[in-house]
Amino acid sequence: MFRAGLYARVSTNDQQTLSMQSRAMREYAARRGWTIAVNVREVGSGAAKREAREKLLEAARRREIDVVLVWRLDRWGRSVTDLLATLQELEHLGVGFVSLTEALDLTTPAGRAMAGLLAIFAEF
C-alpha cells in the first residue's frame, strides 16, 4: 500500500477550486487503496516560493511518502524546467508521481513511458 502525499494549489484568483481538488485527490487515493500520509494545500501565484510544496518534497526526501498526487501538472511545476527537475528528483528518490486530470501515472510502466515522451517533446 502506497503512502501518498497530496498537493493542491490555487492562485488567489481561483480559490474556489481548492476544496474540489482536495476532495477529488482524496477519493482517487481511496480508490487506489493508498494511505494519505501528507495533505498540503497552498494558495498563491505559481511564480512565488511554494513552502507547502517544499514540505511535500521534504517528506519525499525523508521517505515518508511513496507517491505524490497532484490535481494537474501546472499546479505542481512553476516551469517546464522546474517540473522536469522535481520529477527527476522524485524518480531518483523512488517516489511515484500522479497527475489526476492528465491521467499521468508515473507509478506504472505506461506512465513512465509517457513521461519520457513528454520530456522529449519538452526538450525539442
Burial category of 122 from C-beta neighbours within 10 Å (exposed 0-12, middle 13-18, buried 19 and up): exposed
CATH topology for the 3-123 domain: Rossmann fold (3.40.50)
Residue 99 is given by DSSP the state: E
Q: What is the pLDDT of residue 84?
A: 83
Predicted pLDDT of residue 33:
97
Whether 11 is catalytic is: yes
Which residue among 11, 19, 22, 45 is the active-site one?
11
Q: Where in the chain are the domains?
A: 3-123
DSSP-assigned letter for residue 15 = G
Predicted pLDDT of residue 53: 93
For each successive 10 residues of the chain (124 residues), what is the average pLDDT?
Answer: 94 76 96 97 75 94 97 85 89 95 89 78 66
- Model's pTM, two decimal places? 0.87
| pLDDT value of residue 74 | 84
